Amino acid sequence: MVKEGRADDSVRRILHVDMDAFYASIEQRDNPALKGKPVAVGRRAGRGVVAAASYEARVFGVRSALPSHMALERCPELIFVPPRFDVYRAVSAQIHTIFRHYTEVIQPLALDEAYLDVTEQWRAYGSATAVAESIRWDIKQQTGLTASAGVSYNRFLAKLASGQRKPDGLFVISPRQGAAFVADLPVEKFHGVGPATTKRMHALGIHTGADLKSWTVPELRQHFGSSAQFYHDIARGEDHRPVEANRPRKSLGTETTFTHDVVEWDRLAAILKDIVRKLAAGCVQKRIAGRTVTLKLRYAGFHTVTRARSAAFPTVEEGVLLSMALELLRSFFPLDKPVRLLGLTISSLVPYDDGTLPVQMGLFE
């Protein structure tokens, strides 16, 4: 573990806490017969996909989003267990209760990870590293699960740090170490640089943080647009984004993978109707309304396309959402190939009060 360094009141203390193989670890915790064995959370049959994999399964190259048949080819002894999202959400809530004992400035990224800003609280524990250790201890004692943590002076480096000692580890990147740590790192390891951007960077001769640092903002903007400043900053170990507590949800979506490819309009329309029903119910439950609907369609060859349409006003009305969704689906016909997955997302969200019709809210915006 790297030491945190001398205290400096002008430096932020940011933690990134990431649960270790969260879904799979819960299944191993609740069923001792699974401990030490390769476990995949997901559906084994047909078009199933791995939602999460234990560390024993990852040794064989089994990862989340891997088709189940490929996972079994890599690890014939793989044990599939169906997901229990209600249990995962409950454990996640338990972990967030632990977080709130230390700080209210928490930005969840998923059920199993979050940023915490402990700039105002660290002195009571001696250091931000001590806060992270205490949080990891509490999680272990109260849930029986392990968490890894990264400690640094910004979000970008804290997330990089949490992955350095997995599982059940802690790593610190101090202000004196940040720039040098990033310089040697391959750009594909940067959080915020995805596969497509990595490919473009490699084509430009940008392979490491040091390579990226040699480019100016105007030069980066020519190739990466509005992301240029962010890439310029992180290449220097800088990230000024705050930890956003109570960050508003940007979208809500649901999707279905078919057991067999579908080409018929009637079947796809019926499936889409069921997806819309679930999405509308989710909006009402979360008290949000949306204006933009995006349809995702994945063909048999795994090629994925999306199309979107926006309404004049935010809505949660199932009929309105279905009309928009069917219009988007119709635009794909005649189909290029059979379809294996259909998904729908609603975005441009606003809060929705049961006593206020979304269309009325839109009229007065």
DSSP 242: P
**Is 112 annotated among the ligand-binding residues?**
yes
Distance CA 271, CA 265 (A): 10
Peptide bond into 351 cis (omega under 30): no
33: burial class by Cβ within 10 Å (0-12, 13-18, 19+)?
A: exposed
Please tell me whether 184 is known to bind a ligand: no
Q: For this structure, is 56 an active site residue? A: no
DSSP element (H, E) containing 321: helix 318-330
DSSP 3-state of 24: helix
Of 113, 238, 317, 365, which is the active-site residue? 113
Residue 192, number of CB atoms within 10 A of its CB: 13
- What is the amino acid identity at position 45? A
d(CA 82, CA 233): 42
- Cα–Cα distance measured from residue 271 to residue 114, given in angstroms and rounded to the nearest whole number: 34
Positive or negative: CA dihedral 123, 127, 132, 133: negative
Residues within the annotated binding site? 18, 112
Residues within the annotated binding site for Mg(2+)? 18, 112
Catalytic residues: 113
